[in-house]
A and B are shown apart, each in its own frame.
Chain A
Amino acid sequence: MALVSPEKGWFQKKVAKDEKMWITFATIVALALFAIMVLWHVVGKQNPSYTVYSTSPDEFYKMAQANWKQYKVGEESGIPVVKPAPDGDVYVIGTTWSWEPVIILKKGAKYRFHVSSMDLLHGFSLQPMNMNFLIHPGYDYVLTFKPTYSGDFRLICNEYCGPGHHTMIGKIVVED
């Protein structure tokens, strides 16, 4: 009874058969869900990265400049276009309110994306794949991507970063 103390002996009362079955079932499902997360690290190919370096906006900016200089192939809308070597590193900077650079990748190759913010938190949202990560200033978050589809992709910011938030959009092209 929700409004009075339970009757005497309530703690000794046996759990009904159907309730017991349900709880057992729910426990098994919970354990299975737990196991899937661990298993996916072994067999699955999509796991959030845990490689990260401590950095500062200045230091990261310098490293990005050096990286872009090495791989730059042109410019689009005033943004450098880089084509990193397959299995190479590429630096991505999120600043209020832009992504740099434009990136050209090769399908099936692996790339180490170093992503950091120069100021606020930004959301790294790759469309139309709909893969989403959070980017902090002061941390070099290393996301090792292997593009399995070719085509034209967009990088949008999905963490609020001020009134120009909706103009923060970048471009990634994956060639066959």
Chain B
Amino acid sequence: MFTTCDITGFKVDKRVLPLIKANAVVSVVALLLAVVAAMLVLFTRWQVVHLLPVDWYYRILTLHGVVALVVWIVFWEMAGLLFGSTVVLNARMVTPWLAWVAFVMMVIGTALVAFAVLTGKADVLFTSYAPLRADPLYYLGIILFAVGALIVIGIFFANIIVAKKEKTYGDGPLPLFTFGLLTAAILGVGTLLPGAVIYVPTFLWSLGLIDSVNTIVYRLIFWGFGHSAQQVNVAAMISVWYLGAFLTVGGTSINEKVSRIAFLFYMIGINLASAHHLLVDPIPSPSWKVLNTSYFMYLAVLASMIHAFAVPSAVEVAQRRRGYTKGLFDWLKNCPWGNPAFVAVFLAIIIFGFIGGVTGVINGAEQANMIIHNTIAVPGHFKGTVVGGTTLTFMGATYYLIPLIFRKKISMFGLAKAVPWLFAGGVVILSAGMSTLGYLGVPRRHWDITFGGGPFTYSFPAITDLFWVVAVVGGVIAFLGVLAWVLVVVVSVFFGTPVRGKQDMQLTLSDMPPAEEHHTGFVAPGTFALTIIFMIAFLIFTTLNWGWLSVMWEVK
């Protein structure tokens, strides 16, 4: 049943490998589909080309949202959960057959959703806000997918319990990577339950068995699912960051207690932050809004800031012990920049922090939210979180998956190295373009922003024309980045040279750095400087937002 990996020395359950591979392959196909849809959407929104007719635009936009935000990421996470609960714990896979059942359910669920959307039966966009109604097949597909994912999460817990009992990873607590995944899995349960609570009645309503669904209740519970799902991604992404720091430079959290408490903060606070979607809705009171979106949300924000220090400082300390101690940034200069997985993690941290994090906290502020609510700045924000953060991180980590799980060398390594730079660069430009357009008032989800056919006309400020070009250029670059990545992955997996041992690893598998000598002063001064720069940028942007807000019409 077990084989020993000749590269890492892990005891690997042979039954888990095909499961990891199957989930990973589906996720790659999903990402390809998602970015093709993204291009169609982008070139429709850019009025100069205005590619798709109106019905197909909303159809493809729905498909893009579901496939990019859910299918690609969740399948990848399923592979990650199976990997993190077996391979890295030297543990056995508890019920492989059940994981296959879950996998098939998720594939069928995806197919049902795609079928409903592409046949024009579910032009409801990702949020499917009631009373906008889709075909029952659409809701059924999502329910099947969610139940499948819930089963895999259950198997993840079972694997960990068995590993703990059989002491396959020693006596101590879970390794940090798996601990982070455990956080993601617990958040996953907290996400999928609201999903069931809202999609089951909506499904019954679409069948005509229930009269109506309250729109505010729908939005409240939907976001308990929709936003929390992205918090699962955050926890999973940060686990991969810790793993990346360890694999690429032998970096370990400088204080595991701090890192673990930060994950604990996610478990407590992060799902409540979903309430920020209702900041400009009628009904919830200011105290409810402020309590949920700042008092509790900041517990999660604080956790992210802790990780923002813990991950880079892990790298810095390891590098300093190797002797890169000159000045503030000698350690950074001498990082393995030829390792695309390291580059992906590094760029993801920067993008997630400076773009996703900054805009996220401001968008979550009760009053500042009025400026960007439902403008294109919102998708601009998640280009900085789930795209520049999670997707980039997972793309980079796949480069370890190929030699270690698929046992193939990475083909076209030069191109593989260019991917994170290309993709990250594109996403930054795209996000900057979209966010600025949003601040200029351009709505999200709009087929025609010239309002053709309406009783009045309106032209957004002329400068928007320029920022559309920025968004399109960024989008195309990011698209090419994903195409290059898919090419590398497919060619490597299906036509690559087999890996026969450690000598075939093109990516660094770092040894542990030498032990620490006596230390005085700051442990990670370079990281400290970087985080201070981040904080200054954050405070400037916050001030700007409150400044903008203060010159608007008065409203209460």
Question: CB within 8 A of B374: which of A17, A125, A171?
Answer: A125
- A-side contacts of B421, CB under 8 Å: none
Asked if B334 CB lies within 8 Å of chain A CBs, one says: no
Complex Cα distance, B245 from A49, in Å, reads 46
Complex Cα distance, B246 from A66, in Å, reads 69
Complex Cα distance, B460 from A76, in Å, reads 22
- A-side contacts of B539, CB under 8 Å: 29
Asked if B523 CB lies within 8 Å of chain A CBs, one says: yes
Question: CB within 8 A of A2: which of B123, B246, B279, B295?
Answer: B246
Q: A37-B365, A158-B446, A167-B454 are in contact. Are A19 and B280 (CB under 8 A)?
A: no
Instruction: Kindly specify which of B182-190, B410-418, B437-445 makes contact with the partner chain.
Output: B437-445
- A-side contacts of B301, CB under 8 Å: 30
Question: CB within 8 A of A125: which of B214, B361, B441?
Answer: B441
Q: A4-B170, A46-B550, A131-B552 are in contact. Are A10 and B175 (CB under 8 A)?
A: no
Asked if B382 CB lies within 8 Å of chain A CBs, one says: no
Question: CB within 8 A of B54: which of A110, A129, A163, A170?
Answer: A163
Contact string against B for A residues 148-176, beta-carbon threshold 8 Å, 1 for contact and 0 otherwise: 11000010111111111111111100000
Question: CB within 8 A of B281: which of A134, A147, A157?
Answer: A134
Q: Which 10 A-B pairs have the closest CB atoms?
A: A5-B172, A158-B443, A30-B298, A2-B246, A146-B554, A52-B282, A132-B373, A141-B282, A16-B523, A26-B305
Question: CB within 8 A of A22: which of B173, B305, B554?
Answer: B305
**Contact B461 A13, beta carbon cutoff 8 Å:** no
- B-side contacts of A139, CB under 8 Å: 216, 282-283
Contact string against A for B residues 192-234, beta-carbon threshold 8 Å, 1 for contact and 0 otherwise: 0000000000000000000000111001000000000000000
Chain B 47-96 residues near chain A, CB threshold 8 A:
54-55, 58, 88
Besides A13-B255, A37-B367, 15 other A-B contacts (C-beta < 8 A): A3-B175, A3-B246, A16-B522, A16-B523, A25-B535, A26-B302, A29-B535, A47-B366, A50-B286, A78-B455, A132-B374, A146-B555, A164-B453, A168-B454, A169-B454
Complex Cα distance, B282 from A26, in Å, reads 32
Asked if B508 CB lies within 8 Å of chain A CBs, one says: no
Asked if A98 CB lies within 8 Å of chain B CBs, one says: yes
Asked if A36 CB lies within 8 Å of chain B CBs, one says: yes
**Contact A22 B309, beta carbon cutoff 8 Å:** yes
- B-side contacts of A138, CB under 8 Å: 214-215
Q: How far is the CB of B539 from chain A (nearest CB, A)?
A: 7
Chain B 534-556 residues near chain A, CB threshold 8 A:
535, 538-539, 542, 546, 549-550, 552-556
Q: How far is the CB of B513 from chain A (nearest CB, A)?
A: 11
Contact string against A for B residues 512-526, beta-carbon threshold 8 Å, 1 for contact and 0 otherwise: 100000000111110
Complex Cα distance, B59 from A78, in Å, reads 32
Q: How far is the CB of A161 from chain B (nearest CB, A)?
A: 7
- B-side contacts of A125, CB under 8 Å: 374-375, 441, 443
Question: CB within 8 A of A169: which of B174, B458, B546?
Answer: B458
Q: Which residues of A approach B to under 8 Å, CB–CB?
A: 1-6, 8, 10-11, 13, 15-19, 21-23, 25-27, 29-31, 33-34, 36-38, 40-41, 44-50, 52, 76-79, 98, 110, 119-121, 123, 125-139, 141, 143-149, 154, 156-171
- A-side contacts of B524, CB under 8 Å: 16, 18-19
Q: Which of A1, A128, A154, A163 has the most CB of B within 10 A?
A: A1
Q: A4-B170, A147-B553 are in contact. Are A77 and B455 (CB under 8 A)?
A: yes
**Contact A33 B365, beta carbon cutoff 8 Å:** yes
Complex Cα distance, B449 from A97, in Å, reads 15
Asked if B370 CB lies within 8 Å of chain A CBs, one says: yes
- A-side contacts of B440, CB under 8 Å: 130
Complex Cα distance, B238 from A40, in Å, reads 34
Asked if B528 CB lies within 8 Å of chain A CBs, one says: yes
- A-side contacts of B279, CB under 8 Å: 48
Q: Which residues of B approach A to under 8 Å, CB–CB?
A: 54-55, 58, 88, 123, 125, 129, 131-132, 169-177, 214-216, 219, 242-243, 245-246, 252-258, 279-286, 289-290, 294-295, 298, 301-302, 305-306, 309-310, 313, 361, 365-367, 369-375, 439-441, 443-449, 451-458, 460-461, 512, 521-525, 527-528, 531, 535, 538-539, 542, 546, 549-550, 552-556
Q: A38-B290, A148-B553, A154-B458 are in contact. Are A163 and B58 (CB under 8 A)?
A: yes
Q: How far is the CB of A122 from chain B (nearest CB, A)?
A: 10
Q: Which of A31, A46, A52, A138 has the most CB of B within 10 A?
A: A46
- B-side contacts of A158, CB under 8 Å: 373-375, 443-446
**Contact B243 A3, beta carbon cutoff 8 Å:** yes
**Contact A22 B528, beta carbon cutoff 8 Å:** yes
25 contacts between A and B (CB under 8 A): A1-B512, A3-B243, A10-B257, A18-B313, A18-B522, A22-B305, A30-B298, A33-B298, A37-B367, A40-B367, A49-B555, A121-B219, A126-B553, A130-B439, A132-B374, A133-B370, A134-B280, A135-B282, A136-B216, A137-B215, A154-B458, A159-B445, A160-B129, A163-B123, A168-B454
| A124 to chain B: closest residue by CB | B280
Complex Cα distance, B370 from A107, in Å, reads 21
- B-side contacts of A144, CB under 8 Å: 555-556
- B-side contacts of A1, CB under 8 Å: 175-176, 246, 252, 512
Question: CB within 8 A of A3: which of B177, B451, B538?
Answer: B177
**Contact B313 A19, beta carbon cutoff 8 Å:** yes
Q: A15-B255, A163-B54 are in contact. Are A4 and B175 (CB under 8 A)?
A: yes
- B-side contacts of A22, CB under 8 Å: 305, 309, 528, 531
| B62 to chain A: closest residue by CB | A160
| B239 to chain A: closest residue by CB | A2
Q: How far is the CB of B87 from chain A (nearest CB, A)?
A: 10
**Contact B252 A50, beta carbon cutoff 8 Å:** no
**Contact B305 A5, beta carbon cutoff 8 Å:** no
Q: How far is the CB of B357 from chain A (nearest CB, A)?
A: 11
Q: How far is the CB of B105 from chain A (nearest CB, A)?
A: 29
Complex Cα distance, B553 from A130, in Å, reads 10
Complex Cα distance, B123 from A163, in Å, reads 9
**Contact A167 B373, beta carbon cutoff 8 Å:** no
- A-side contacts of B175, CB under 8 Å: 1-5
Q: A37-B367, A48-B280, A133-B370 are in contact. Are A2 and B555 (CB under 8 A)?
A: no
- B-side contacts of A6, CB under 8 Å: 172-173, 176, 256
